[in-house]
Structure 1
Amino acid sequence: MNFKKIKMMGLALGMGAILAACSGSDEEEKSTKTTGDSNETATTDESKEINLAYVEWDTEVASTHVVGKVLEDLGYDVTLTPLDNAIMWEAVSTGQADAMVAGWLPNTHASQYAEYKDSLAELGENLTGAKIGLVVPSYMDVNSIEDLSKEADMTITGIEPGAGVMASTEKVLEDYGNISGWQLLPSSSGAMTVALGQAIENEEEIIVTGWSPHWKFSSYDLKYLEDPQGVFGGEETINTFARLGLEEDMPEAYKVLDAFNWTTEDIEAVMLDITNGTKPEEAAAKWINDNADKVAEWTEGVE
């Protein structure tokens, strides 16, 4: 893969760090690209540079690497920039990143969407049938949030503090009196899945913040707890957004982003490969090779 990746660690780096990373110096306008075992150096065509922002959730790692690889195969110099959720939205809205395929609506990213929607180009859904909620192993004798009393030491294992599912879970703790004294433990997406796997291995109780699509549903026997009050909302979609002006600056890249659409089965195949040890760029390339007809629909009319 020829992707450049820029690591951004949370809110503390701020927008100045994004600008510095994305613009770079004149020397950085030349990039070394690797294909197979041989290296070739090429002068980057500025009009073919594209920066995709994403949050490091398993779904977004998979989707962003697939879209990035498709664009790379079309000759684009692709940078994938992992960011905190709030910064991701801000980066695209200010034009310091070109696009993202990571907008969960209508609930998970409701506050970010409300804040930035007027300064973004909305390209629509790229995946339907997404969902968030509290997830437990199927062997636990609870089926609803209202069933909870003292399970799992009255602790919910969460992910990154800025995630929408965390904000929704905090509201769940406020709205459901039976768990008002419970603790929501922030961690990371990776740490949450490790804790889940360890608990299942020992048949222990655990409650996690969950979302689908996610590879954990293919690997473990899990269930969502019913949410009678509807705090987590219903079905969600994952949406593509671009900076204003991208359609005029890079119409063919915009066309690919606009056409990008796949299924839960598609994304979970990529996520599962990554979870099993395949590098994200290699998992993306494998899926693209195995699904040439679908990719051809995204790139139809693009030279």
Structure 2
Amino acid sequence: MRSILKKSTTAGAAALSVLVVSACGEEDTSGEAYSPEGEEITLTLVAWDSELASTNVIGKVLEEAGYDVTLTAVEQAPMWISTANGDADGFVGAWLPSDMASEYEEYGDDVVDLGPNLEGNRTGLAVPDYMDITSIDELSSDVVDEIIGIDAGAGIMTSTEEVVETYDLDIEATPSSDAAMTAALDSAYNNEEPIVITAWQPHWKFNSYDIRFLEDPEGVYEEEEEIRTMVREGLEEEHPVAYEILDNFYWETEDMNEVMQDVAENDKDVEDAAQDWIDDNRETVDEWLETAEQ
């Protein structure tokens, strides 16, 4: 795993402290206090635009509570593995029930599922509005040469390979990356050329381009999914403030899209876009920071 962001800014951190609780559940009479100040938290993520947005936002909120936060980009399976074996404290990018179904089945019993932090997300195939097809069963090599996808091994790529088989398509799904797929979309869109991409919402490209999902009459893709927060076992006992903030974390599709679009269209660093969103949504962030340990 490689660290992409190491955050240690603690200026203005919230003054949070809790009494240490003994194993039997009673207060420690020594009066020793737990404070998040300077405690280390590691979050992992897949470097998709959506997860860069959400992880940077919640990372900065944890910093505000006093933690030193490290964000580490990994592939999809290692994101789950690192949390299951305790090398990472958690992640906020579990796309379920279908996109990361295999990882959830394998590692779900070894992590703590805090539930959705965003609901109503969706995956599928998308095309620009200027194309005259509306359904996956209209795809063929006469329409496009390939379906442009993202990282090999991502859940949406597995589903897309199933789509190719289920619909008996004479085109293939070509793995690339989020950035490469979006670049291909931009080039095709500007020249009004046909293109089919793997797509998910939230994603800023739905705000920046007139694109739409293709209908999926065979129901290979889930019509509606959710993004959940997963943390390691023992986090609640060792870092109760971080655990509760991560448990409180919940936002809407338009919130995530706002951060992503700020990065994509304003050429802003994702950390700066995350901080701007936090500054503009202080009431929501303060609700995440409200913990029983305050």
Letter in 2 for 1:272: Q
Equivalent-residue separation in structure 2 for 1:258 and 1:233 (angstroms): 25
| Matched residue, 1:294 | 284
2-side partners of 1:258 and 1:151: how far apart? 48
Could you tell me the TM-score, scaled by structure 2's length? Answer: 0.87
- Aligned residue type for 1:120: V
Task: Provide, for residues 236-288 of structure 1, a one-character-per-residue CA deviation record: whole Å limited to 9, x for no partner.
Answer: 00000000000000001000000000000100000001112111111111000
- 2:250 pairs, out of 258, 261, 282, with 261
Please, which runs of 5 or more residues in structure 1 have no aligned partner?
A: 9-21, 23-30, 36-44
Matches of 2:115 and 2:93, distance apart in 1:
11
Q: Distance in 1 between matches of 2:241 and 2:133?
A: 50
Runs of 4+ in 1 over 6 A off after TM superposition: none
Q: 2:134 matched to which residue of 1? A: 143
Aligned AA (1:235): E
The code of the aligned residue for 1:286 comes to D
From 202, 222, 229, give the equivalent of 2:218. Answer: 229
Normalising by the residue count of structure 1, what TM-score does the alignment of the two structures yield?
A: 0.84
What is the correspondence of 1:9-20 to structure 2 with a 5 Å cutoff?
none
Equivalent residue for 1:273? 262
Q: Which has the higher helix share?
A: 1
1:60 aligns with 2:69: no
Distance 1:295 1:202 in 2: 41
Distance 1:168 1:84 in 2: 17
2:45 and 2:73 in contact (8 A); partners too: yes
Select which of 53, 68, 73 maps to 2:64: 73
* Mapped partners of 1:130, 1:239: distance in 2: 11
Q: Aligned residue for 2:122?
A: 131
Q: Residue 273 of structure 1: SS of its match in structure 2?
A: helix
Count of matched residue positions in the alignment of Structure 1 and Structure 2? 267
Q: Indicate if the aligned counterparts of 2:4 and 2:72 stay in contact, CA closer than 8 A.
A: yes
Any conservation in 2 of the 1:52–1:98 contact (CA below 8 Å)? yes
The separation in 1 between residues aligned to 2:243 and 2:196, in whole angstroms, is 40
**What stretches of structure 2 of length at least 5 have no aligned partner?**
12-35
Structure 1 position 105 matched with structure 2 position 96 = yes
> Which of 167, 176, 191 is the equivalent residue of 1:187?
176
Does the CA contact (< 8 Å) of 2:140 and 2:171 recur in 1?
A: no
Equivalent positions of 1:148-227 (< 5 A) are 148-177=139-168, 179=169, 181-227=170-216
What is the aligned-residue identity percentage? 49
Whether the 8 Å CA contact 1:199–1:206 is kept in 2: the answer is yes
**Is residue 67–residue 257 contact of structure 1 (8 Å, CA) maintained in 2?**
yes
> Does the 8 A contact of 1:152 with 1:207 survive in 2?
no
Structure 1 counterpart SS, 2:105: helix
Which SS does the other structure have where 2:144 is aligned?
Answer: helix
- Measured at CA, do residues 282 and 79 of structure 1 come closer, stay the same or move farther in structure 2, by a change above 3 Å? same
CA offset at residue 184 of structure 1? 1.2
